[in-house]
Amino acid sequence: MAEKRYRAMFISDVHLGARGSQTRLLLDFLRYNDADVIYLVGDIIDGWQLRRGWHWPQSHNDVVQKLLRKVRKGSQIIYLPGNHDEFLRDYFGTHFGGIEVMDETIYTSADGKRFLVIHGDAFDVVVMHARWLAHLGDWAYDAAIYLNRWFNLIRRKMGLTYWSLSAWAKLKVKRAVNFIGAFEEALASEARRQKVDGVICGHIHHAAIHDQFGIRYMNCGDWVESCSALVETYDGRFEIVRWTEVLPETAPAEDHDAEPELVLPLPDGRKVAA
């Protein structure tokens, strides 16, 4: 499978440090896809999970190494922290291995349209005003992801492809659907307030592109459930790439090339070599 290169690539909600993170699929995606500029749209590292218990296998480290390698090969990478990696918000304006950390930014597409790029947690009422409830919901979500791993293990043994039980359940619950709609509308309103043509965000693990609220709304998705990314082609078209639907026939390859050590700060005071 030949590598595809895009004008821009937007990845969010990888949740490195969480057991549900689909790092091997992400590594495979990064192996076959590249871009002039890559936006990491928040929750790339899961500080909430790392506070509860340390989990950082080699594949999680490999993701960081792969991104650093893309920087050295000429890609620009911009990191916009979310609520799970909010500890990085203390480092706005700094660089880690060439990766720039920012709060939010404006991206100009090939056809000159301007898009607000932001994680989106600031527009989640639960996260902002009831953090205890957000953490409780995070625990319940982890339980669903745990069940999802066993569910997909059975599917693989049956010769079936990956399917997200948790994403399916979320879209069947009326309150969850209403929450998604309210979140999307709030982000569209913020884009309108900032006088831009649209918004690119993450946070809710629901990839989408639409103009339902009179302005372009685009969500990157995640690498826990949908394994998706948002890309812009050189002719200005935005697309959602759902990697489980376009997986190459080759199995995901391990990538252990030697890298110069980069130390990332973590929320509990420890540091991890990337």
Over the stretch 3-22, which tens digit does the pLDDT of each residue have?
999 999 999 999 999 988 99
DSSP alpha helix (H) spans, the chain: 23-32, 47-52, 58-72, 125-129, 131-157, 165-172, 174-193
- Look up residue 33 and give its two tokens: 């896809």
Cα–Cα dist 94/87, whole Å: 13
Q: What is the pLDDT of residue 79?
A: 98
Cα–Cα dist 272/262, whole Å: 8
- Residues 6 or more apart from 269 whose CB is under 8 A from it? none
Q: How open is the CA angle 62-63-64, to the nearest 5 degrees?
A: 90
Q: State the pLDDT confidence band at 107, using cuts at 50, 70 and 90.
A: very high
Q: State the pLDDT confidence band at 161, using cuts at 50, 70 and 90.
A: low
**Structure-model confidence comparison of residues 209 and 156, the more confident one:** 209
Q: What is the pLDDT of residue 160?
A: 67
Q: What is the pLDDT of residue 158?
A: 75
Task: Give this prediction's pTM.
Answer: 0.77
- Helices 174-193 and 165-172 pack at an angle, to 10 degrees, of 90
Q: What is the pLDDT of residue 181?
A: 83
Hey, which residues does 243 pair with through a beta bridge? none
Q: State the pLDDT confidence band at 57, using cuts at 50, 70 and 90.
A: very high
Cα–Cα dist 185/124, whole Å: 11
Residues 183-197 have a mean pLDDT of 94
- Look up residue 271 and give its two tokens: 């540091």
The torsion angles phi and psi of 150, rounded to 5 degrees, stand at: -65, -40
For a pLDDT cut of 70, what percent of the chain falls above it? Answer: 72
Q: What is the pLDDT of residue 30?
A: 97
Mean predicted lDDT score pLDDT of the chain: 82
Cα–Cα dist 194/201, whole Å: 15
Q: Is the pLDDT of residue 273 over 80?
A: no
DSSP state of 78: E
Across 213-244, b (16+ Cβ under 10 Å) vs e yields: bebbbbbbbbbbbbbbbbbbeeeeebebbebb
CA–CA distance from 74 to each of 61, 78, 187 (Å)?
21, 13, 31
Alpha carbon 151 to chain centroid, angstroms:
23
- Look up residue 138 and give its two tokens: 């995070």
Contact between 78 and 168 (Cβ < 8 Å): no
Q: State the pLDDT confidence band at 125, using cuts at 50, 70 and 90.
A: low
Q: What is the pLDDT of residue 87?
A: 93
| Length of the chain (residues) | 274
Q: What is the pLDDT of residue 142?
A: 58
Q: Is the pLDDT of residue 206 over 70?
A: yes
Q: State the pLDDT confidence band at 154, using cuts at 50, 70 and 90.
A: confident
For a pLDDT cut of 90, what percent of the chain falls above it? Answer: 60
CA–CA distance from 33 to each of 37, 151, 211 (Å)?
12, 28, 27
Q: How open is the CA angle 153-159-162, to the nearest 5 degrees?
A: 55
**Structure-model confidence comparison of residues 268 and 27, the more confident one:** 27
**Least confident segment among 51-65, 89-103, 147-161, 204-218:** 147-161
Place of tokens 């809710």: 204
Cα–Cα dist 201/191, whole Å: 11
- Secondary structure class of 183 (helix, strand, coil): helix
